[in-house]
Amino acid sequence: MRIATWNVNSITARLPRVLAWLRSTQPDVLCLQELKCSDDGFPRDDITELGYDVASYGANRWNGVAILSRVGLEDVTRGLVDEPTYEDALHPRAVAATCGGVRVWSVYVPNGREPDHPHYTYKLRWLEALHTTVLAENSDDRPFAVLGDFNIAPTDDDVWDISLFADSTHVTEPERKALARLRDAGLTDVVPRALKYDRPYTYWDYRQLAFPKNRGMRIDLVYANRPFADAVTDAYVDREERKGKGASDHAPVVVDLTL
């Protein structure tokens, strides 16, 4: 089974690339983030023509997540247990489904903006809700994974120059402690275990030639339980999909499993 995650930064803008990537890479399951469209605006017909079922969760031109599956799509859940609001509204940031016997969550963790911003507090509360959800859903015998844009770099090596992030989100101790709590809940960061090279980045800003200069971050993660992690045979970041005109600022992360 091949499972992937990709922050597309607008499914409408990226649709031709997404369709071409589905044809060439042939993932069985693809988790998408930052759709920037409502459920009614999601290009469902274009996706289903390629043999994928769709579970989307979007509300407007911000946020939004989806799961595409060609191995079944059951028990769809939208939103987290005890999910917090921001500015008195719930935001579409998490959707789950069981695909071919594997339970997957596609998540778009809040950015946080700045450590002293209310959005940062919201981010930590949202991560707490994710932890609660993992405890409720994870089991010892069913492959389970949370995939998506976590907006957290797990280690200093996961950013191109840690000295430039001293007063920034994505690398603060409370955010990293939230990731550690997911590990305490039985999940592990599976991609570095399978890669043939160290900590490839998954995100590069559009500005200041960040991608050509490889000034990136590894913030798109796959956190999985033992039945999932033990089945992983390979993983890679598709840097080629970050190249060229009309690319997202994130690259897809692909994980292959033998189940």
Residue among 91, 131, 170, 250 flagged as catalytic: 250
pLDDT tens readout for residues 90-131: 999 999 999 999 999 999 999 999 999 999 999 999 999 999
Given 28, 53, 149, 189, the catalytic residue: 149
> Which domain range does residue 175 map to?
2-257
Largest CA distance in the chain: 47
Q: Which residues of 193-225 are buried (b: 16+ CB within 10 A; e: fewer)?
A: ebeeeebbbbbbeeeeebbeeebbbbbbbbbbb
Query: What pLDDT score was predicted for residue 64?
Result: 98
Amino acid 250 reads H
Residue that the structure tokens 């409370």 belong to: 174
Distance between CA atoms of residues 23 and 151, nearest Å: 28
Q: What is the pLDDT of residues 203-216, one digit of tens each?
A: 999 999 999 999 99
Is 141 designated active site?
no
170 a catalytic residue: no
Count how many domains the chain has: 1
Looking at 108, 201, 203, 223, which residue is catalytic?
108
CB 34 within 8 A of CB 10: yes
pLDDT for residue 140 = 76
In the annotated binding site for Mg(2+), the residues are 7, 34, 149, 151, 249-250
Residues in contact with 232: Cβ distance below 8 Å, sequence separation at least 6, in sequence order: 190, 193, 194, 224, 255, 256, 257
| CATH number, residue 91 | 3.60.10.10
What is the C-alpha separation between 154 and 221, in angstroms, rounded?
9
List the chain pLDDT tens, one digit each, 259 residues: 999 999 999 999 999 999 999 999 999 999 999 999 999 999 999 999 999 999 999 998 889 999 999 999 999 999 999 999 999 999 999 999 999 999 999 999 999 999 999 999 999 999 999 999 999 999 878 999 999 999 999 999 999 999 998 779 999 999 999 999 999 999 999 998 667 666 689 999 999 999 999 999 999 999 999 999 999 999 999 999 999 999 999 999 999 999 8
Is 250 annotated in the active site? yes
Please state, in angstroms and rounded to a whole number, the distance separating the CA atoms of residues 189 and 155.
12
Q: Rounded to two decimals, what is the model's pTM?
A: 0.97
Q: What is the pLDDT of residue 194?
A: 67
